[in-house]
Amino acid sequence: MSLSFERYWNAFLDTLMMVGVSGGIAFLAGIPLAVLLIVTAPGGFLASPRINRAVGSVVNGFRATPFIVLLVALIPFTRIVAGTTIGVWAAIVPLAISATPFFARIAEVSLREVDPGLIEAAQAMGCRKWHIVRHVLLPEALPGIIGGFTITLVALISSSAMAGAVGAGGLGDLAIRYGYQRFDTEVMLIVIAILIALVTAVQLSGDRYVRWLRSR
Q: What would the mean pLDDT of 9-36 be, rounded to a whole number?
A: 93
Confidence of residue 158 (pLDDT cuts 50, 70, 90): confident
Distance from C-alpha of 101 to C-alpha of 88, rounded to nearest angstrom: 21
pLDDT over threshold 70, residue 31 = yes
* Alpha helices for 40-66 (secondary structure H): 49-64
User: What average pLDDT does the segment 32-49 reach?
Assistant: 87
| Cβ atoms 191, 199 nearer than 8 A | no
- Burial environment of residue 29 by CB neighbours within 10 A (0 to 12, 13 to 18, 19 or more): middle
For the stretch 165-191, pLDDT in tens is 666 778 887 877 777 767 778 888 888
Q: Would the pTM of this model clear 0.95, i.e. be above it?
A: no
- The burial class, CB within 10 Å (0-12 / 13-18 / 19+), for 144 is buried
**pLDDT value at residue 68:** 83
Q: Could you report the per-residue pLDDT of 61-111, keeping only the tens digit for each?
A: 988 888 888 888 888 898 888 887 778 888 899 999 999 999 999 999 999
What value does the mean pLDDT of the chain take?
A: 87
Say whether pLDDT at 1 is over 70.
no
pLDDT at 2 over 70: no
When pLDDT is cut at 50, 70 and 90, the band that residue 130 belongs to is confident
Residue ranges and CATH numbers for the domains of the chain are 5-215 (1.10.3720.10)
